[in-house]
Structure 1
Amino acid sequence: MMRSRDRHNLLRSLVAGVFLAAAGNAVASEDLEPYKMIRSLQYLQDAIVAGDHSANEMQRFLLKTLDQRLRTASPDVFKDPRNVDAVFVFAMSGGNPQTLDFLAARDVDGEFDGRLARVLRRYFQGQGLTAVAAFEGLVKEYGTSPVGPYLALVAGNITANADPAKAIGYFDQVRLLAPGTNLEEAALRRSLAVILPTEPGRGFDLAAKYVRRFLYSPYASQFIDMFVQLATDDDGKGDRSRWTDVVSMMDDPRAHEFYLRVSRRALLAGNKDLARFAALNAERLSPSPGSENNAIGQLYGDLASISSSNVVEAAKSLSQIPDGALSERDRNLRAAAQKVVEQILMAPETSSVSAEPVVMPAGEAGQAATASATIPSAPAPTTSVAKPAAKTENPEMEASLQTYVEQNRMKLKQIDDLLSDEAYE
């Protein structure tokens, strides 16, 4: 049965398709008002962020058609303020900014706001910071007009780094003026980027709003990147339900991918508990037991368990992951982890001449396998299968023991490097 969201998107596409067919004929006779075409563009863009990616092609067609219509329009067309607003909205909606310059330059009747045309030109040329004060005044002046939320979004973009608090204010204004639109999607996503370093608590609220409304947007991958960072960085500072409740609103495939990415990032950060927690949830949500993504979740969970008392079980589980279910880098990662497990479980050899090998403590191996920041300069006493040899007064044996430990540290460093290669962009 077709889901409600799918039916809604299909209806959007059909309506937009009918309109565009009419638009093509109307443009030929030059009798379609630009403001009406802008409404259709907005409709398509809202459909895209709601999850109807089939509308992308229609959006490209309509932007091209609008550009042609605006450039060939007679000056009388712009005596209607709605068509003038349409030009500014077109420029800030992915249209050709040079068309705005073209029309503003040939405006002899003063229909276009020259101040707005000039500051937008500076913004499109990458010089928006030089016009911050001008944007602030224009945002207030245009307020709730059709151009207002677009201007507020642009103002938020250019002030995000210099004045995060002011940028959040602009983005909040966008969300108030244009709820449920592609403008709100952009404002939510950019708000999260701005507050991520300083206000994680508010970040969870923004993430929940985004998941409820725009999880199927083509830009959602940027949001997921930030949400993964938010969840892993916050772990241990507050209740884990702050972000797991948000994940529970996702469908299973997206929640599964999210937990995999959290597990990977937690491994890189040395947070074994979170890595295991996320890996277990990823396995629970896996579409099928033998799937590739399920194998990756199992791998991350096993890596997080190497330094625990379940090292034998983790070793067995690692060996059962089929090669075909892992990428080449994941296979290399598993092979390196298995070498560490072998070192942990290896029985010591005794010789009266050569040094007695020292088994790497489980805790130390686990730190390297989960990409901890440093490797201790000397093995710390822990419970392991074989205990390190007691201190001896034989200098030659002491030197040999130290050499062995250093050699094993090099192997552990290889895992650090492999884990670093796994860092997602």
Structure 2
Amino acid sequence: MVRRMRVFLLATLCWAGLVASPLNAQPVTPPYEMVRTLQSLQAQVAQGNSQALAAQRALLLRMENDFMDAPAVVWQDPRNARAAVIHLLSGGHPAVMRELMKFDPLPSIDVNLMNGALAYVEGREQQAAELLSGFDPRELPPSLGGHVALALAAVTVREKPEAALTYLGLARLLLPGSLVEEAALRREVFVAGTLDNIERFQSLSITYLRRFRNSIYAPDFRRRFMLAIDTLGFAKSPEKFALIESLFNEFDEDTQRTLYLRMARTALLHGQLEIVRKVVDRAIPLAMGGTREEAMLKIYMAGATMDAKNIKLVRDTLWSVDKTLLEPDELDLLDAVYSVMNSVRHWPEPPVNVIGEFSSFTPGNKPGDPEWITPVMSHANQLLTETGKLLDKAGNP
């Protein structure tokens, strides 16, 4: 398989003129054929091929040089003119399009399409939306229409998210299996999320993970998915959690563990203890012993299972947590769980500065005390001092 892929890439680069032939010939490839090669490489990128990603970058550079050197007559072929726009929307340098727009006559394509694509890649969203909205992606050749639909979605999503969803769906339909489909699907998931369309968010996420889980850009999907878990409130509502629960199985174990940890913390802080218990039960088998992840899961489970009947079990669980593995904010959470445990033990209210086997010994020093001195130590020192004074008085009547 690896050998076939190397042969494929070598043949692709030779076809595009990136690798010299045995006779050192430098074939002149029409722009539209170079774009076909580019899209073929991008399809491999969407499947996670890092070699294809490197080849794509090299090909884009070669296309920029060849396109800049091509005479005006080349761009009178509509296929080549469309190729110039596709190249730009695929990551090509905008200087190429600016150079082509100096020709007289102009390339054989609507000038608004060239200007709209240029405005899009240069970040002029309003102008891009005005220029590109005059084109129906379905009426363009699919290789170009998919790119235009993706661009239209990007420039309309802020003000018209529903319209952006339509454009993203069109992009996927026009260029199935391509990097355009991968990008459109990845973005469509989160637009659906912002619209609180949970069922669509779920179904699109599953589709992405099953089609493009190995994509070079899948890490971006996972990062944004984790943010969406918080934003959409899946850990704050049992009903929403039930909708998303099965989706986690689509992720790899490392991602599952990270998602479960994130959900457990959010659910605990919002009092959704049943969600915490479910999430921790699933996450514990995925966490290695003696790790920070396992320590945090113990804290979450302790916080979610605390009542008078099992208070000793909760105590033992918390005592097994290695504090040296925790960050400052995580130590704060541990102290908060200890505090709740003390409240359960000493209902209705724990005594001030409770000392004993259930104490978390949280920081709370007097002004001027070193950081390593705990309240218990300060209190003990005070008692010793007072005892010493009493003994002095007893010995010196």
TM-score of the alignment, normalized to the shorter chain, above 0.5: yes
Contact 1:263 1:275 in 2 (8 A): yes
CA distance, structure 2, for counterparts of residue 308 and residue 44 of structure 1: 62
Look up the SS of the partner of 1:315 in the other structure: helix
Pick the aligned partner of 1:47 from 44, 48, 57. 44
Say which one has the larger Rg: 2
CA distance, structure 2, for counterparts of residue 12 and residue 211 of structure 1: 23
* Map of 2:159 onto structure 1: 162
Structure 2 residue runs without a partner (length 5+): 365-397
**Residue by residue, what CA displacement relative to the aligned partner does 1:330-361 show, whole Å, maximum 9, x if unpaired?**
xx52365246516743xxxxxxxxxxxxxxx3
Contact 1:41 1:59 in 2 (8 A): yes
Contact 2:112 2:132 in 1 (8 A): no
Pick the aligned partner of 1:201 from 178, 181, 199. 199
Pick the aligned partner of 2:18 from 24, 33, 43. 24
TM-score between both structures, scaled by the size of structure 2: 0.75
> Relative to 1, partners in 2 of residues 1:14 and 1:278: Cα closer, same or farther, differing over 3 Å?
farther
Give the drift of 1:26.
5.7
Please state if 1:328 is matched with 2:327. yes
Give the drift of 1:290.
4.2
* Map of 2:312 onto structure 1: 312
* Map of 2:127 onto structure 1: 130
> Relative to 1, partners in 2 of residues 1:311 and 1:41: Cα closer, same or farther, differing over 3 Å?
farther
CA distance, structure 1, for counterparts of residue 348 and residue 103 of structure 2: 85
Structural mapping, 1:248-397, within 5 Å: 248-286=249-287, 288-305=288-305, 310-322=310-322, 326-329=325-328, 333-334=330-331, 337-338=334-335, 340-341=337-338, 344-345=341-342, 361=343, 384-388=344-348
Contact 2:67 2:96 in 1 (8 A): yes
**Residue by residue, what CA displacement relative to the aligned partner does 1:178-205 show, whole Å, maximum 9, x if unpaired?**
2222212211222222221331122111
**Residue by residue, what CA displacement relative to the aligned partner does 1:224-253 show, whole Å, maximum 9, x if unpaired?**
22553447257322571x323222233333
Contact 2:303 2:337 in 1 (8 A): no
Look up the SS of the partner of 2:105 in the other structure: coil
**Comparing 161-170 and 208-217, the one that deviates more:** 208-217
CA distance, structure 2, for counterparts of residue 146 and residue 312 of structure 1: 66
Please state if 1:91 is matched with 2:85. no
CA distance, structure 2, for counterparts of residue 262 and residue 13 of structure 1: 42
CA distance, structure 1, for counterparts of residue 118 and residue 227 of structure 2: 31
CA distance, structure 1, for counterparts of residue 3 and residue 238 of structure 2: 43
> Relative to 1, partners in 2 of residues 1:310 and 1:80: Cα closer, same or farther, differing over 3 Å?
farther
> Relative to 1, partners in 2 of residues 1:110 and 1:253: Cα closer, same or farther, differing over 3 Å?
closer
Give the drift of 1:163.
0.9
Instruction: Read off the aligned partner of 1:173 and give its amino acid letter.
Output: L
Contact 2:76 2:107 in 1 (8 A): no
CA distance, structure 1, for counterparts of residue 51 and residue 312 of structure 2: 50
Instruction: Read off the aligned partner of 1:42 and give its amino acid letter.
Output: Q
Structural mapping, 1:235-246, within 5 Å: 235-238=237-240, 240=242, 242-246=243-247
Instruction: Read off the aligned partner of 2:203 and give its amino acid letter.
Output: D
Contact 1:275 1:304 in 2 (8 A): yes
TM-score between both structures, scaled by the size of structure 1: 0.71
Instruction: Read off the aligned partner of 2:199 and give its amino acid letter.
Output: G
CA distance, structure 2, for counterparts of residue 258 and residue 251 of structure 1: 11
> Relative to 1, partners in 2 of residues 1:20 and 1:290: Cα closer, same or farther, differing over 3 Å?
farther
Instruction: Read off the aligned partner of 1:236 and give its amino acid letter.
Output: P
Q: Which has the higher contact order (CA 8 A, sep 6+)?
A: 1
CA distance, structure 2, for counterparts of residue 341 and residue 195 of structure 1: 40
CA distance, structure 1, for counterparts of residue 339 and residue 138 of structure 2: 70
Look up the SS of the partner of 2:18 in the other structure: helix
CA distance, structure 1, for counterparts of residue 308 and residue 102 of structure 2: 71
Contact 2:42 2:56 in 1 (8 A): yes
Contact 1:150 1:174 in 2 (8 A): yes
Contact 1:48 1:56 in 2 (8 A): yes
Contact 1:231 1:262 in 2 (8 A): no
Instruction: Read off the aligned partner of 2:8 and give its amino acid letter.
Output: V
**Residue by residue, what CA displacement relative to the aligned partner does 1:301-355 show, whole Å, maximum 9, x if unpaired?**
334445786443233223323456x3534xx52365246516743xxxxxxxxxx
Give the drift of 1:281.
1.1
Question: Identity, % of aligned pairs?
Answer: 25
* Map of 1:423 onto structure 2: none
Look up the SS of the partner of 2:117 in the other structure: helix
Contact 1:189 1:223 in 2 (8 A): no
* Map of 1:79 onto structure 2: 76
CA distance, structure 1, for counterparts of residue 241 and residue 296 of structure 2: 26
Contact 1:150 1:183 in 2 (8 A): yes
* Map of 1:232 onto structure 2: 234
Question: How many aligned positions are there?
Answer: 349
CA distance, structure 2, for counterparts of residue 308 and residue 43 of structure 1: 64
Give the drift of 1:89.
0.8
State the Cα RMSD in Å: 3.5
Instruction: Read off the aligned partner of 2:29 and give its amino acid letter.
Output: L
**Residue by residue, what CA displacement relative to the aligned partner does 1:240-269 show, whole Å, maximum 9, x if unpaired?**
1x3232222333333233322322333444
CA distance, structure 1, for counterparts of residue 252 and residue 158 of structure 2: 34
